[in-house]
Structure 1
Amino acid sequence: MPTMLKRIIITFGFLCILIGIFGISYTWRVDHRTADSLSAYARIDFQSSYTSAGKLEGAVLSLWDYRFDGAKMEPQAVLYTDGDAWEMKAATRQSPPPGDAPGNRYKNENKLFVELPRSSLPAIKKAETVRFRFYYDNGQTIDLPLNEADLAYWQRELSKGRS
């Protein structure tokens, strides 16, 4: 009987180790994922605003990123248009994991909201490449380009009104 109990305890311990390794590797992979574009990495929303006369007034970018770790977004971001840099202050917020949301039960939701500088808007309209960089307080930097569809959408949004 002690031999059987020993086997059960060893098997249980081994299973706990395997489950732990799987969980750690999964969460690390999600928090350190790679992507080829900003919208492939996080959910983004870009909106432009116009005056009642139809003149472009400004544009804002909202970004949502879900992570298992507790790293929080830093309140700064950089927009690159064909290599020109536009540094910005951002509003950030982290929400703890909602207990009842399917799929996001253990993930922290990080939100970033930034108003793009007005001087960057003409550069975005004619840019061939646009990149966006943001930071986490654990030292991680995310620097990704817009894909072609997102860049075309941003440029259409900025060209709706009267110049």
Structure 2
Amino acid sequence: MKKRILIAVGLFFMLVGIFGVSYTYSYDHRTAESLSAYCRIDFQSSHTETGALEGAVLTLWDSRYDTKKLLPQAVIYTDGTAWEMVATVKQLPPPGESDPTNRFKNENKLFCELPKASLKAVRNAETVRVRFYYEGGQTIDLPLNAPDLEYWKAQLQ
């Protein structure tokens, strides 16, 4: 009888472990059709006192179970033209009990300034894609959806 209980408990823990690993893997390798569907984004432009456009900054927040960190580089594609960006990255550990919805997820933040030469290309682009990288070779490459693209263009006027 004790042997059957021990086997049942062992099988239960194996199933829970398999489910947990498969869930976290599928979440960290999730698919999305646009950048804002995959992670939280913020795009802001800056202007001089005279109103002239002087730059733009993109910030991404990506929460995931994996502890691999973002690499400090990103690429923005405007109608196929690549613009490489040097980024600043930061990873925050899981918040624990203070945030029940994300208590086990690491928050990765990528902050990059768009090259000045790319601003006109973004303003005139039909499509814009953003690519960023994680340690271990994972690459995220997603387009902006139509509302986000229009917002970016409005910011760059």
1:26 equivalent among 20, 23, 26 = 23
Instruction: Name the residue aligned to 2:134.
Output: 136
Q: Which runs of 5+ in 1 are unaligned?
A: none
Query: 1:74 — aligned with what?
Result: 71
Q: State the partner residue of 1:116.
A: 114
Q: Which residue of 1 aligns with 2:32?
A: 35
Which structure 2 residue ranges, 5 or more long, are not aligned? none
- In the alignment, the residues of structure 1 paired with residue 85 and residue 124 of structure 2 have an alpha-carbon distance, to the nearest angstrom, of 20
Does 1:53 find its partner at 2:44? no
**What count of residue pairs does the alignment treat as equivalent?**
156
Where does residue 95 of structure 1 map in the other structure?
Answer: 92
* 1:65-112 Cα distance to aligned partner (Å, 9 max, x none): 011111100001100000111001000011111112111111111000
Secondary structure (helix, strand or coil) at the match of 2:27 reads helix
Question: Over the residues paired in the alignment, what is the CA RMSD in angstroms?
Answer: 0.6
Deviation of 1:52 after TM superposition, in Å, equals: 1.1
Match of 1:106 among 104, 107, 114: 104
Give the letter aligned to residue 134 of structure 2.
Y
Q: Do residues 16 (structure 1) and 16 (structure 2) align?
A: no
The separation in 2 between residues aligned to 1:88 and 1:47, in whole angstroms, is 16
Question: Which of 3, 6, 30 lines up with 1:6 in the alignment?
Answer: 3
Percentage identity across paired residues of the two chains = 65
CA–CA distance in structure 2, aligned partners of residues 151 and 24 of structure 1: 36
> Residue 158 of structure 1 corresponds to which residue in structure 2?
156
TM-score scaled by structure 1? 0.94
User: Shift of the alpha carbon at 1:36?
Assistant: 0.7
TM-score, scaled to structure 2: 0.98
**Paired residue secondary structure (2:102):** coil
Shift of 1:147: 0.5
